[in-house]
Structure 1
Amino acid sequence: MNNNMNRRSATVGLFSGLGKVWLGIGLISMLINILMLTGPVFMLQVYDRVLASGSVPTLVVLGGLALGLYAFYGLLDGLRSRILVRVGQYVDAHYSGLAYQVSTMAPVLIGNKAQQLRPVQDLDAVRQFLSGQGPAAIFDSPWMPFYLIIVYVFHPILGLVGLVGAIIICLLIGLNEWLTRKPTQEANRETGLRGQLVETGRQNAEAIHAMGMIGALRGRWEGLNQTYLQSQRVSSDRGLLFSTLTKTFRFILQSSILGFGAWLAIQQEITPGIMIAASIMISRALSPIEVAVGQWRAFVGARQAYARLKSIFGQMSEEQEDGMELPLPQKALTVDALSSGPVGLKKPVLQGVSFSLNAGQGLGIIGPSGSGKSTLARSLVGLLPALSGSVRLDGAELTQWAQDRRGEFIGYLPQDVQIFDGTISENISRFAPDASSDSILEAARLADLHEMITALPDGYETRIGSSGFALSGGQRQRVALARAIYGNPFLIVLDEPNSNLDSQGEAALAGAISAMKERGSVIVIIAHRPSALASVDHVLCLKEGKMQACGPKDEVLPKVLSPVPNQGAA
């Protein structure tokens, strides 16, 4: 199943392909509930036939028959549980990749709103509910009228008592839903905030430790955790209240059936066997309801998670449709009146930027802090949508290529250097499963990394990232540079690529840029140090999101270089 099919099917429903499975579970549930009559019928026969006749052979025959039916019931109940576990695993297996992709791409496509989204955790909540007792209780609950009808056939008074009890149980369920929905939502939101704070702390551990921030952040954590515990307490207390009420009322109702049944037996309107059978049937009728109430928090959480998944999958399908299989660009990059900005901002950061570059040319982008340089870089590689204007490669808009295919002709080095847990070779090759050793070695040599890598304990197989070998800032940036030029991409966008480099690293950067230009790549460099512009042909100066100058480097730099202060990313 390709990514586009995944997204389209997800917007219809996570369980749209499981119709036959649900039908099969429904049929199994029907047989299970019919077989649950074994106990009441057995007790009825024992009290009214065996005890009255004193026939041991009859008791043996009835006992053997009940034993066989119970064995069949156990087989079906176990089968249903196994199917539900596999339904949960099926949903997870088919949508976990999409959930990971959405989780990774959401911050780029929908901005700050993505901070509250946890698609992978939401999918886990759905799977855990499907694999638990909740779905079985849902399939069993509709059989409550079936048992009530049988009790009514035993005697109308017993049926009326059972009906009143069922109505009260349903009212309790309605109140449970009404009173626990909001606390459950708040508890889930606080859970997300706690996880976000923990992850932020782990990512910034060095700054926290060096600047003595741990005390303040610990106080913030404790305050947030107190709010979380309170919301969890409210949600749990209300859920437990209704679970206790339901269980208690079921005991009362079962005893009431016994009481009324005893009175009717004294009046000789029913037999003692019917009294016992009716009590057991009422208990069975309400048992799934009790289980459902006990699973209500999990049900509400899974339902909310399901709604969030459908919503975000739908947004991603609208924002990120796969493109056509166009040939890879080889000739030119054209930016025409481009206006762009982070998702969620009403006013674009970048306004009306235009330029064009042919194969083998390089452009340096300079400007003061907040001028839109990094916004332009993100727009060129498709991370930010064009609010107006266009980014075209060989005349075709960037969005006309499928996202996976863009990686074949785009190289990108973000200002915030990102290294993944894995080997150096995997990081350079972008984790491509079919990466060739020659391509990895070529990219490493262009970035002047080969000797540094071979000096490491495991060479190219040295693990780096948060759980691996600690690289210096300059080494990380050069690994990221090697990743950007891996595979000889046509468009290479480097956002402040020399911010952590020493003189040797800057020389390697200049050499890599020159080599890629000779091979026909278009190079775009975001820079605040003139040394990064040594290998470019043209310069574009931005100020407040607008072009101030654009043209050959020798003409533009003398006009704009002197007023440019120390700049950062936009």
Structure 2
Amino acid sequence: MNFLASCRHAFWGLATFSGLSNLLMLTGSFFMLQVYDRVLPSRSVPTLIALLALAIILYVFQGALDLVRTRISGRIGRFLEETLGHRVYDAVVRLPLKTRGDGDGLQPLRDIDQVRSFLASGGPTALFDLPWIPLYLGICFYFHFWIGTVATAGAFVLVGFTFLTELRTRTATKASAKFAMSRNALAVEGRRNAEVLRAMGMRHRAAARWLEVNRNYMAANEAANDVASGLGGMSKVFRMILQSGVLAVGAYLVVHGESTAGIIIASSILTSRALAPVELAIANWKGFVSARQSARRLDQLLTLLPKEEEPMELPAPEQSLTVDRIHVVPPGGERAVLSNVSFSLSSGQGLGIIGPSGSGKSSLARALVGVWPQLHGKIRIDGATFDQWSPEGLGRHFGYLPQDVELFDGSVAVNIARFDPKATPAAVLEAARAAGAHELILSFPDGYGTKIGEGGMALSAGQRQRIALARAFYGNPFLVVLDEPSSNLDSEGEAALTKAILNVRERGGIVIVVTHRPKSLDGVDHVLVIADGTSQAFGEKEHVLNKVLRQPTPVPLRMATDRGRIR
């Protein structure tokens, strides 16, 4: 990842402090060596005190260095969050517009948490300690060839444990991550459909689905943990056996006059210290594998969704919208849901889009506001294509009411104002009045300050739609696209909607309404008929509707006036 390259100075600092710390870790070995080989034979108390004072000073420095490198690791984790956090969140929001996606869509946030947690833990310091193993083994060889040989053989065995841990945990860790995504997605799905599950007795069956995936997740997670903990326990036992073995070899050498008592103790401590990083690496290996997989997923995500460049800001549109032979494919899809659709509108005009369910009307609405890109063709606003605008800059001139209304946790005023920090009460009130929602909002317990809850769950469907409609009108956008805006409105709300559409047209904006209801067409002057993903008719409202009504067969485009709907 480019992030790791940007942290190279911090990693060099971490490596430097780790090197100094590892050098100071020799203090205990050499202190014991001097005590056994110099102090005890000479019975010199001043020498003992001097050695002890020096050892204490070195231990204090070592503790300070360990504290510094621990804090460096923590700061690297924080720097990761500050550097990539915004991009990862932006990618999470953009990903559904690029691909269908799996799970609950929050895996990138969990990935960045995983990488940050590993960087802030003892894992990186253990990896930086590994290169110092040859130094400790070299000193063991300096003490005696056989002491160094036994310690080196033990190091190779523990390194073998490390590679075995990598091989045995890789598959289980990947499976665990996959099942975790599915488990979280099912939980979110159940929470969002709580009413349906309760009303139709589906709760236990939904729980059974979740439990099945959860069992798979737990099995994969336990498999990875069992391998890591099992091999970690084996390595710990082997290290204790090896330490005793080094003591035994040293004792044998002392018996034969080839070594000293101080070397026995020092070599035992050195062997333990030499193999401790390997044992620590094994203990942190599961976290390392998970962090590595998370980093790869983040790298792939940020490559798929690179940072968007900000083009030159264009003047606010005020003249026209042109759709030129566009073909639209949904995110992750392969087949176009709209083909060769063309029309144009000028300032002050309104368009109603009608057609059977599944004909591509909502897909066209998404394309018109830049949510779904065009595979072929162009959409121009005042002659400029969408890619000549930044999404934020273009979005200020758009108002959009999706078919499935979602609001955000916060107050009514904050939702209407689109989180604009510079929003004024006058602008919020103007948007609410334009949507005919002002009186409704005043009826809430705290008026515009009413907290609506996550997704607007504290409101009814009709109330959510009215507030979302006000959000669409906020800032007097040039292009307003409304997808089934009257689906949850009563007759009073429909009248207010028609008035709002006419107000947009009167101020020089363009309104596009996707609808099945004839009443929603009262405020428009043009109609576009969509069927099978293609344009069937476009023109002035009276002309197109008369043409549809005169069709002799009950094709889906006919106005079913007896039901008050357009099929």
Structure 1 and Structure 2 fold alike (TM over 0.5): yes
Partner of 2:465 in structure 1? 477
Contact 1:187 1:232 in 2 (8 A): yes
Contact 1:413 1:493 in 2 (8 A): yes
> Equivalents in 1 of 2:103, 2:84: separation in Å?
18
C-alpha distance 300-125 of structure 1, shift in aligned 2 (>3 A) = same
> Equivalents in 2 of 1:237, 1:395: separation in Å?
63
CA-to-partner distance for each residue in 1:23-47, whole Å, 9 max, x for gaps? 1111111110000000000000011
> Equivalents in 2 of 1:266, 1:65: separation in Å?
31
> Equivalents in 2 of 1:93, 1:128: separation in Å?
14
Partner of 1:235 in structure 2? 224
- Identify the match of residue 297 of structure 1 among 271, 286, 292: 286
Partner of 1:6 in structure 2? none
The aligned runs of 1:241-320 (5 Å cut-off) are 241-317=230-306, 320=308
1:202 aligns to 2:176 (yes or no): no
Secondary structure class of the residue paired with 1:339: strand
Secondary structure class of the residue paired with 1:365: strand
Partner of 1:192 in structure 2? 181
Offset at residue 344 of structure 1 (A): 2.0
Partner of 1:509 in structure 2? 497
> Equivalents in 1 of 2:457, 2:320: separation in Å?
40
Letter in 2 for 1:90: F
> Equivalents in 1 of 2:363, 2:344: separation in Å?
17
The aligned runs of 1:22-61 (5 Å cut-off) are 22-61=11-50
- Identify the match of residue 122 of structure 1 among 111, 123, 128: 111
> Equivalents in 2 of 1:14, 1:195: separation in Å?
28
Letter in 2 for 1:181: R
CA-to-partner distance for each residue in 1:43-85, whole Å, 9 max, x for gaps? 0001101111111111111111101110111111011111211
Offset at residue 568 of structure 1 (A): 12
- Identify the match of residue 533 of structure 1 among 521, 524, 527: 521
Contact 1:463 1:469 in 2 (8 A): no
1:436 aligns to 2:424 (yes or no): yes
> Equivalents in 1 of 2:373, 2:271: separation in Å?
61
Letter in 2 for 1:420: F
C-alpha distance 568-69 of structure 1, shift in aligned 2 (>3 A) = farther
1:519 aligns to 2:499 (yes or no): no
The aligned runs of 1:43-192 (5 Å cut-off) are 43-113=32-102, 115=104, 118-192=107-181
Percent same amino acid among aligned pairs?
47
> Equivalents in 2 of 1:511, 1:280: separation in Å?
85
How many corresponding residue pairs?
A: 558
- Identify the match of residue 312 of structure 2 among 308, 320, 324: 324
Offset at residue 101 of structure 1 (A): 1.5
Offset at residue 111 of structure 1 (A): 2.1
Letter in 1 for 2:503: A
Letter in 2 for 1:364: G
Contact 2:103 2:185 in 1 (8 A): no
C-alpha distance 567-228 of structure 1, shift in aligned 2 (>3 A) = farther
Indicate the larger mover: 349-358 or 247-256: 247-256
1:380 aligns to 2:368 (yes or no): yes
C-alpha distance 118-568 of structure 1, shift in aligned 2 (>3 A) = farther
Offset at residue 468 of structure 1 (A): 7.1
C-alpha distance 103-437 of structure 1, shift in aligned 2 (>3 A) = same
The gaps in structure 1 that reach 5 residues or longer are 1-11
The gaps in structure 2 that reach 5 residues or longer are none
CA RMSD in angstroms, aligned pairs only: 1.9
Offset at residue 457 of structure 1 (A): 2.1
Offset at residue 569 of structure 1 (A): 13
Offset at residue 112 of structure 1 (A): 3.1
Partner of 2:323 in structure 1? 335
Secondary structure class of the residue paired with 1:335: strand
Using structure 1 for the length normalisation, give the TM-score: 0.95
> Equivalents in 2 of 1:312, 1:347: separation in Å?
24
> Equivalents in 2 of 1:299, 1:370: separation in Å?
47
Secondary structure class of the residue paired with 1:390: strand
Secondary structure class of the residue paired with 1:357: strand
Contact 2:104 2:188 in 1 (8 A): no
Partner of 1:3 in structure 2? none
Contact 1:265 1:271 in 2 (8 A): yes
